[in-house]
Structure 1
Amino acid sequence: MNKKVSSLALIALLALALLSQSIFTVNQMETAIVLQLGEPLDDVYKPGLHFKLPFIQKVIYFDARVLDYEASSREAFTVDKKAIVLDNYARWRITDPLQFYRTMRTLVGAQARLDDVVYSQLRAMVGAYTLSEVVSTQRAAIMTEVTEKVKGIMKGFGVEVLDVRIKRTDLPAENLRAIFDRMRAERERQAKQYRSEGEEESTRIRSDADRQKAIILADAARDSQIIRGDADARAAQIYADAYNKNKDFYAFQRWLEAMRTSFNENSKMVLSSPEALLKHLK
């Protein structure tokens, strides 16, 4: 009885082992193929539960989603012999798992192949345009044409390329240094020009200010002389009118001024004839 139970248990274990080796599932984000003795069978398995021969068949799974691939930065030359560094990426997916497995086997191999194809097409297209066209006016047209060409090449590998884009364009480091040097030299030249023009304008303004100053001072001196002359004439006229009104009083006033001017504190004067000076005191 025990032997019979053991035998049944062993048979059940073997059946479970065979069943586990015969059943496989494919989830919603994958497709699969079956290898028999290392060779792929013709069927592609969609998501669901499937069966295979145990031990002699092996399941290979492939990602059915849209995949992104970012290429490493590489240099290319434009038609005007300008070097440019391209940083691009591609979006792709596996459409024929059997062909994909026969030609590239793994995702790593597919990305290496895709990198070579995309770079060769980008380099060819960039070489047909000038630098300004690549970075501005013709960029969209270049991307569309590169995408179509890469799609046609990669179709034979069981891959559909959905989009190829240039993520960033840069100049090589040595070109950047040369451009920065030219920019610096241009800015220095402009600065010198602005300083020279400023100094020239400053000199002109100073000269104009000095000229206006001289004119103003000359006009002021002239007006001062005219006013002083008019004042002197007016004073002389006033003195004359006063003298004509009372000659004796005018003479006495002039005598007082002469005395005030001649006699200071502790002054001494010797007169030969005092009458001319002291006649107004009589």
Structure 2
Amino acid sequence: MKASAIAAAIFAAAVIIIGLSSVYTVDETQQALVIQFGDVKSQEREPGLHFKLPFIQNVVYIDKRVLNLTSARQVGGEGGQVIITSDQKRLVVDAFARYRIVDALKFYQSVRDMRQASDKLQPIFLSNLRNVLGEATLEALVRDERAELMQRIEEKFNVAAQEFGVEVVDVRIRQADLPTENSEAIYRRMRTEREREAAEFRAQGQETAQRVRSRADRDVTVLLAEAQRDAERIRGEGDAERNRTFAQAFGQDPDFFAFYRSMQAYRDGLKGDSTTLILSPDSDFFRYFKDEDGQVSR
């Protein structure tokens, strides 16, 4: 009785152990490879409960989430990679790549695990980073073509990463800085260049302004001369018309014309309160004071 109970317990334990060794679960963030004597027998990507042969088959889990790969290394006491641009500028670049494992079988056969994957993928990433950025100028990297450069790095890195069953989904440059020992000198040079450009722009602006002012002064002089010429012409025409009118009036009634002109002379000559005229009593100027016909009374 006692031996039978022990045997039953051993059998039950063996069944439980075999049962537990025959099943495995796959999480939503994982994919699994079933390995038998070093060879891959099956691949499971769907989450849930799955079965395998007990004891002789093992399960290797491979992450199927998007993973990060960074370029950061301590180089000369600074984080990131030292890049020499095409215009011979030295930059410290901090970048990262995001990738996912799309072919678990190829990944396992080529790199086995995540640590070896990182050791193999990072040098490829850094090589493409240096090659692409080394062909660009400093200005293109920090201002104009940064997005295009990241796209080129991603494309080149993705081609190489496919050998490991990996797909590169994104490459980003987090930071691109001048080395500490060079930054101040470069900033001073850039400031000097900007100040020189600003001085050139100001000089061009002053030259343009002077040209505009000179043209405006010339136009004003021409307009004033034309206006004065027109005024003189109109004044001359008016004087001529007046003289013609006087001549016609004189021809029609000489006595009245002489009287009218004398009245105008009296008005203009005697309009002031302190006007004094010293004339001879026989002067023709006062002839109408003496007689309405302009004759001297006796």
With the length of structure 1 as denominator, give the TM-score of the two structures.
Answer: 0.63
Distance 1:136 1:7, change over 3 A: closer
- Provide, for residues 170-226 of structure 1, a one-character-per-residue CA deviation record: whole Å limited to 9, x for no partner: 553226978888777666554443333232222111111111111111121122222
Per-residue deviation, 1:230: 2.5
Per-residue deviation, 1:86: 3.6
Question: Is the deviation greater in 271-280 or in 236-245?
Answer: 271-280
Aligned partners of 1:240, 1:18: CA distance in 2, in Å?
151
Per-residue deviation, 1:89: 3.5
Counterpart in the other structure of 2:14: 18
Aligned partners of 1:211, 1:162: CA distance in 2, in Å?
75
Aligned partners of 1:137, 1:42: CA distance in 2, in Å?
38
Q: Is the 8 A contact 1:76 1:86 kept in 2?
A: no
- Provide, for residues 95-123 of structure 1, a one-character-per-residue CA deviation record: whole Å limited to 9, x for no partner: 399989xx97xxxxx32322221122333
Counterpart in the other structure of 1:91: 100
Structure 1 counterpart SS, 2:178? helix
Identity %: 20
Aligned partners of 2:84, 2:275: CA distance in 1, in Å?
109
Correspondent of 1:123 among 121, 126, 132: 126
Matched, 1:223 2:205: no
Matched, 1:167 2:171: yes
Aligned partners of 2:85, 2:194: CA distance in 1, in Å?
29
Structure 2 unaligned regions, length at least 5: 43-49, 73-80, 138-147
Correspondent of 1:211 among 215, 218, 228: 218
Per-residue deviation, 1:142: 3.0
Q: Is the 8 A contact 1:87 1:169 kept in 2?
A: yes
- Provide, for residues 107-161 of structure 1, a one-character-per-residue CA deviation record: whole Å limited to 9, x for no partner: xxx323222211223334555563339927964773255326xx4xxxxxxxx43
Distance 1:251 1:96, change over 3 A: closer
Aligned partners of 2:278, 2:15: CA distance in 1, in Å?
161
Question: Is the deviation greater in 111-120 or in 125-134?
Answer: 125-134
Structure 2 counterpart SS, 1:51? coil
With the length of structure 2 as denominator, give the TM-score of the two structures.
Answer: 0.61
Structure 1 unaligned regions, length at least 5: 35-40, 105-109, 152-159
Aligned partners of 1:45, 1:172: CA distance in 2, in Å?
46
Aligned partners of 2:25, 2:188: CA distance in 1, in Å?
58
Matched, 1:278 2:284: no
Letter of the 2:241 partner, please give it: R
Aligned partners of 1:198, 1:163: CA distance in 2, in Å?
55
Letter of the 1:242 partner, please give it: A
Counterpart in the other structure of 1:114: 117
